[in-house]
Amino acid sequence: MKKRLIFVTIGVLVLIGSVHSQRCDTENETFRAIQSEHAYTKGLFELDSLAEAFETWTLESSARGDTIMFIPVVVHVIYRHDVQNISYDQIKSQIDVLNRDFNWAGGDHGKIPEVFRSLGQACRIQFRLADRDPHGNFTHGITRKQTDIEDIGSQAIYHRSSKGGTDPWSQPHYLNIWVCELEGNAIGFSILPSNNMSERDGVVMDPNAFGTTGTVRPPYNGGRTLVHEVGHYLGLRHPWGKGDGGGCSTTDHMSDTPKQEKENFGCETFPHFSCGGQTDGDMFMNFMDYANDSCMLLFTKQQVQFMRLVLRRNRAALFHSDGYTGLSKMNERSLRIYPNPANDRLQIEFLHHDQLVNVWSVEGKLMKVLRASASITEFDISNLESGMYFLESEDSHLKLMVQ
């Protein structure tokens, strides 16, 4: 008999020092959710029932599906010190890792023991920084806010602007990720999906474990902490089941992950056994364990199918979101730029005269305001540093690279 989840579970990954002593915030976050969000707690029963039905293959086959799914992402950077105001490049590096690992495109499959290697599979899920905000305005999918609240991510106020945090964008339509200080050794957590969405729905990440460049620190400098947490966001549990160190009698409801007593840190040597009766030992290289980034390597086929099922059942509104249009040039006829990339000079072609064009940095700072005086107008941009910028007029939005 499988044990049934009867309480809120919030996935948390922690930063481990030279001694593998875990400092995990799961119980604190669980207690907070139970005390303040009873409807959310009730909704988790239904997620557990879905997982049990999935495990026993009693779901209709049409519920599984195989089409490519797109998820619009907004990253809320909340910083106390300037160094925590992470760069666009660091954010992009993290999105790149999500797309690589969720689509089985890494170059390290050979590190997976052969007995497990055939279980890996692409999720066919694509993550995109939002290009349209909830009000229909052009965006680059990043918000930034300075706060004076220490460890704001551990205080359950990161999602409230009135408390020093940043309000989420419409949670049914965007994956909200808050990058901010976390207390102690914690480096990330995610709220499991429920039919009654939590007011904190989304993922919280420490800037020291977000992406592959900038402020990241080894051994969590490969962007895979967020891969783990998005797994929770899409309904996956740790391989050892509910809670922390759940023991060999609990389940993660995935038939192709071995039973496992507790978390594994670092990079274990294969085979590593934690439960009696294991044939091949722990799948410690699974993205849902606690290994170093360099040793986190796969989602199994069952994990992939369950995440896709949860997307269809619990997060279906993401498919109806206007948060990502995929258009690099919205209403292209009314505004064109060349050359792109540009150096010191930029020509802008306007369908209508007397238009204003705002030039924004990736940090959301207004850098220049350009006014059209003819159908084709040349502008001096020599004072712009190399990098990406966003050009916005009344009805057009374009990206510009400056060399």
- How would CATH label the architecture of 10-320? 3-Layer(aba) Sandwich (3.40)
Residue with tokens 């055939």: 118
Q: Which amino acid, one-letter code, is at 303? A: Q
Query: pLDDT truncated to tens, each residue of the chain (403 aa)?
Result: 333 333 334 455 544 433 333 334 543 565 566 667 878 887 777 787 888 888 877 665 544 556 788 999 999 999 999 999 999 999 999 999 999 999 999 889 999 999 999 999 999 999 999 988 898 778 889 999 999 999 999 988 999 999 999 999 999 999 999 999 998 888 999 888 888 888 999 999 999 999 999 999 999 999 999 999 999 999 998 898 875 555 788 888 998 999 998 889 999 999 999 988 888 999 999 999 999 999 999 999 999 999 999 998 889 889 778 899 876 544 444 577 878 888 888 888 776 556 788 888 876 678 888 876 666 788 889 999 988 888 877 666 778 889 8
Superfamily of domain 332-402 in the CATH hierarchy: Immunoglobulins (2.60.40.10)
pLDDT at 21: 33
Is 261 a residue of the active site? no
- How many CB atoms within 10 Å of residue 268? 17
Strand ranges for 122-242 from DSSP E: 125-129, 142-146, 175-179, 186-191, 203-205
Domains 10-320 and 332-402 share a fold: no
Q: Is 228 helix (H, G, I), strand (E, B) or coil?
A: helix
335-338 sheet: strands from edge to edge: 335-338, 345-350, 376-380
Catalytic residue, chosen from 229, 261, 263, 392, is 229
- Global confidence as pTM: 0.78
In the chain, domain spans: 10-320, 332-402
